[in-house]
Structure 1
Amino acid sequence: MAGESANDVVIVGGGIAGSALAIVLARAGRAVTVLERDREPVDRVRGEFMAPWGVVELRRLGLLDLLVGAGGVFARLNIPYDENMPGEKALPFTFDLSKVIPDIDGAFCMGHPAMCRTLAAEAGRLGVAFRRGVEQVQVTAGAPPMVGFTHDGVRTEWRPRLVVGADGRNSAVRHQLAMKTLADPPHNLLGGMLVEGVPDWPQDIEVIGTEDRTHFLVFPQGGDRVRLYLCYDFADKALYAGADRRQKLIDTFAGLRCLPQAGMIAASRPIGPFNSYSNEDHWVEDPTAPGVVLIGDAAGHNDPITGQGLSIALRDVRLVSEIILAGKYDRSSFRPYVEERLERMRRLRITARYVATLRAEFGEEARRRRGRALRRVFVDKMPSPMPAALIGPEKLPAACFEPSTVEALLAP
């Protein structure tokens, strides 16, 4: 049944980006409804690491204390265990993430489903109408736009002032509005899994390294839980397939010679799925239409190898919320967001390409290249795009993202 809506904003997608935006708008008195497909948050093996610049965005949105209180932890130290720096050789190169940005305790780690539940509960407490189990969402651009959906067997159509698409990488809103998505070629597969039974893992330490044919990452999740990620070549896909793929992942970590805590992980128990995805960038040059704006992964996502997804989404939430709270809903008002995001994603795309080349290409020459590049940055003080993944892409000079800069770092 078609009709007017009392909503200022209807948000399609109740994940982290959608729920965060709903909270910010509801606090300012805007009438908001969130339409979410899943009855309960699902572990999709992504979105559990927040770089320090993303923590800044979380704090600016007034959401940091909420998530810390719900069990989130800070990874304050990064130890670069690697085939070039195995075991104790890596310790002198430990990086203090709590010193990257003043007053930010490091990288923030928390399970994605737990974050979703916490933010959705806060949105509901503030009066946001949070509808779960929504099906057949249909969005039409216009002034005003139209959003139709089916919930508990009832078909509804509304015309709010604005529709926000926050429905993830496979955004139905983006597809319906025929927004062109650009993409880099796939580089690797990246998969992850949540495990428990690792009580001796220091919950303030993350590990990122490469050995043989795998790039591995370990992030604390609170208590005795850690999240394991593995980036590997498409040629090795069969090694991590089949009914026993979760044990295969644990076995790979257990066999890492450069990682002193490998034995801890060998004794861990999987408590979530092991899913893997191709890692490459996808982006939309203009994630807006009349009466519609996309945020988060729906607007395009960075190669997850540098873990920028949550930070990107929270920056989107802040910029879009500021425009809405200024009383602007027309498409032209979102141009500053579109332009900032386009440059932000371009810089992060260059950063991710560099990191993927450095960390997720394998073999003897790749190992030597990784060692050369690190010496050039830390000894020769050559510029690099890599700090963008920690402090934010806008904080570095434009020269850090020039092709000549990356070529010089990776040169033989």
Structure 2
Amino acid sequence: MSKIFDFIVVGAGVAGSAVAVTLARQRYEVLLLERSLERPDRIVGELLQPGGVIALKKLDLDLVLEDIDAIPVLGYHVSWKGEETTFPYPSPHQVDGSANNIFTERPTLEGRSFHHGNFISALRKLAKQEEKVTVVESNVTDFVTDNEAGQVLGIKCPMNKEYLAKFTILADGSKSNLRSKLHDVRPQVISKFWGLEMVASELQYQGFAHGILGNGPLVLMYQIGSHEARILMDAPCSIHASDAPEYFKRNVAPRLPECIRANFISAMKKDRLRSQTNEYLPSQATSVPGVLAIGDANSIRHPLTGGGMTVALNDVLLLRDLLSPEAVCLDEAHAVAKQLRSFHRERKKYSITLSILAQALYALFVTTDPHLEPMQRGFMLYIQRGGQSSEGPCALMGGIYQQPMLLFYHFFAIAIYSMWRLMLASPAWMFPATLAKCAIMFCKAVGIILPVLMSELFC
């Protein structure tokens, strides 16, 4: 008779490797399956926000950030149509909650950036070292199910190989091939990120993620090693690979700081432009017993704010508490189902915050609608005020604050502040026309955030 594991984890990425180690440390027998255990080479999954670092520390997994040439990230430097602002993550004494005693040795909360492959390899190494984790390299083709109850009993692999477990965790990322077995909702493709590797020493503000917004494609830059930096450029999916180099030379190079421009052109000649689709999928609950999707297998947001790994690691943190041996017996199906309902409900606190923020920020700055340009400018001016106007949005983007209501507060505070600035800049005799512009801008701002909010709340 085949061995029945406590858990099967499909996918040995960020979420899968972390949850396998965490469950094994709770004395569960875990099978971790991954289609390829070679070092992955991707252009995303390289920026871990402070909220993700905090989760790693709480999981006692922060050892993986050592010896991978991980770079501290202190906040953001943003440029919009020539205007610039730098806003660091808040200091620990400005943040309520358990983050305080994690970073007490540092003056500010920090994220980390790194080569994706280095981070994943370190997580997998940790998983292989766990006595109660069995790591198998194999594709997964389907679930093993109880035809009468519909419960997932395990997974199927090629060559008619089957593995059984009391519970299955789907952690195979945004391209999950088993997600469609759980529900019919498909990810919405938004755009593509095209990536290059550049020389890190020429970034203007060391230790800060750089964003260039307005007058062309969105551009992100951050250091991924002592000598390397990543540049990501957003473009419509219609841009073909053969046309991409010329498109970015024309639309990105002129907007880069002079100290980076030559480096960028050189990288375009030396390095291969690689792309990754940017998708959106609201958080999904499943009614299928015996299985749960976490991380990007559950929900996806635009990578503009780098929130994906933070969501995944907080999923692991939440599961650790809900599925601990003290909290539930895996043999009691009703008790497990109750904990999974709690997971989906509690997950929304951080998932909604990071997903709505990423989608709303992307929609605001990718648009060419002239009615929203005052709000784009208003965002920059709002951040430049400093204090909570800077610390709040930065802490939300960093996954430090997991409060959807705080996100709505700052979003509409920016909208109202933008209207006020627009009124101040207009002569008195244009008051009626300016008031109409303000009303249109506010309605369009609501049109940005409301559809995402509804998608997240009612899934």
- Fold equivalence (TM over 0.5): yes
**Amino acid of the structure 2 residue aligned with 1:11:** V
Do structure 1's residue 333 and structure 2's residue 339 form an aligned pair?
A: yes
Q: CA deviation at 1:8?
A: 1.0
Q: Would the aligned equivalents of 1:43 and 1:113 in 2 still touch at CA under 8 Å? A: yes
Do structure 1's residue 132 and structure 2's residue 137 form an aligned pair?
A: yes
The Cα offsets for residues 55-77 of structure 1, whole Å up to 9 and x where unpaired, read as 11111111223223322211224
Q: CA deviation at 1:167?
A: 1.1
Q: 1:79 to 1:394 in 2, by over 3 A?
A: closer
Q: Would the aligned equivalents of 2:7 and 2:167 in 1 still touch at CA under 8 Å? A: yes
Which residue in the other structure is 2:364 paired with? Answer: 358
Which residue in the other structure is 2:217 paired with? Answer: 214
Do structure 1's residue 346 and structure 2's residue 346 form an aligned pair?
A: no
Alignment of 1:386-405 (within 5 A): 387-395=395-403, 397-398=405-406, 400=408, 405=413
Which residue in the other structure is 1:42 paired with? Answer: 40
The Cα offsets for residues 267-288 of structure 1, whole Å up to 9 and x where unpaired, read as 3366565114244x31243146
Q: Per the alignment, in what secondary structure is the counterpart of residue 81 of structure 1?
A: strand
Q: Would the aligned equivalents of 1:284 and 1:300 in 2 still touch at CA under 8 Å? A: yes
Which residue in the other structure is 2:119 paired with? Answer: 115
The Cα offsets for residues 145-192 of structure 1, whole Å up to 9 and x where unpaired, read as 3223335xx432233111000011232332123x24276x65x52413
Q: Would the aligned equivalents of 2:378 and 2:414 in 1 still touch at CA under 8 Å? A: no
Which residue in the other structure is 1:19 paired with? Answer: 17
**Amino acid of the structure 2 residue aligned with 1:61:** L
Aligned length: 394
Which residue in the other structure is 1:169 paired with? Answer: 174
Which residue in the other structure is 1:148 paired with? Answer: 155
Distance 1:289 1:395 in 2: 29
For normalisation by structure 2, the TM-score amounts to 0.75
Alignment of 1:291-306 (within 5 A): 291-306=290-305
Q: 1:225 to 1:175 in 2, by over 3 A?
A: same
Q: 1:333 to 1:58 in 2, by over 3 A?
A: same
**Amino acid of the structure 2 residue aligned with 1:115:** F
Alignment of 1:217-232 (within 5 A): 217-232=220-235
**Amino acid of the structure 2 residue aligned with 1:408:** I
Given candidates 179, 187, 191, the residue that maps to 2:193 is 191
Q: CA deviation at 1:253?
A: 4.4
Distance 1:397 1:274 in 2: 37
**Amino acid of the structure 1 residue aligned with 2:218:** H
Q: 1:198 to 1:391 in 2, by over 3 A?
A: closer
**Where in structure 1 are there 5+ consecutive unaligned residues?**
none
Distance 2:52 2:174 in 1: 19
Q: 1:137 to 1:72 in 2, by over 3 A?
A: farther
Distance 1:388 1:266 in 2: 34
Between structure 1 and structure 2, the one with the greater Rg is 2
Q: Per the alignment, in what secondary structure is the counterpart of residue 161 of structure 2?
A: strand
**Where in structure 2 are there 5+ consecutive unaligned residues?**
331-335, 420-437, 439-459
Distance 2:53 2:249 in 1: 30
Q: 1:400 to 1:321 in 2, by over 3 A?
A: same
For normalisation by structure 1, the TM-score amounts to 0.83
Which residue in the other structure is 2:87 paired with? Answer: 95
Q: CA deviation at 1:219?
A: 1.2
Do structure 1's residue 262 and structure 2's residue 264 form an aligned pair?
A: no
Distance 2:413 2:116 in 1: 35
Q: 1:196 to 1:399 in 2, by over 3 A?
A: closer
Q: Would the aligned equivalents of 2:169 and 2:294 in 1 still touch at CA under 8 Å? A: yes
Distance 1:348 1:175 in 2: 24
Q: 1:391 to 1:57 in 2, by over 3 A?
A: same
Q: CA deviation at 1:399?
A: 7.2
The Cα offsets for residues 69-112 of structure 1, whole Å up to 9 and x where unpaired, read as 32221122422233232xxxx3xx32223737652642211222
Which residue in the other structure is 1:290 paired with? Answer: 289
Distance 1:9 1:107 in 2: 30
Distance 2:417 2:363 in 1: 11
Q: CA deviation at 1:139?
A: 4.3
Distance 1:267 1:160 in 2: 51
Q: Per the alignment, in what secondary structure is the counterpart of residue 346 of structure 1?
A: helix
Q: CA RMSD in A?
A: 3.2
Q: 1:191 to 1:204 in 2, by over 3 A?
A: same
Distance 1:15 1:199 in 2: 29
Distance 1:200 1:364 in 2: 34
Q: CA deviation at 1:206?
A: 1.8
**Amino acid of the structure 1 residue aligned with 2:290:** G
Q: 1:43 to 1:363 in 2, by over 3 A?
A: farther
Which residue in the other structure is 1:408 paired with? Answer: 416
Do structure 1's residue 159 and structure 2's residue 164 form an aligned pair?
A: yes
Distance 1:344 1:407 in 2: 23
Q: 1:377 to 1:211 in 2, by over 3 A?
A: closer
Distance 2:249 2:30 in 1: 43
Which residue in the other structure is 2:449 paired with? Answer: none
**Amino acid of the structure 1 residue aligned with 2:397:** A
Q: Per the alignment, in what secondary structure is the counterpart of residue 217 of structure 1?
A: strand
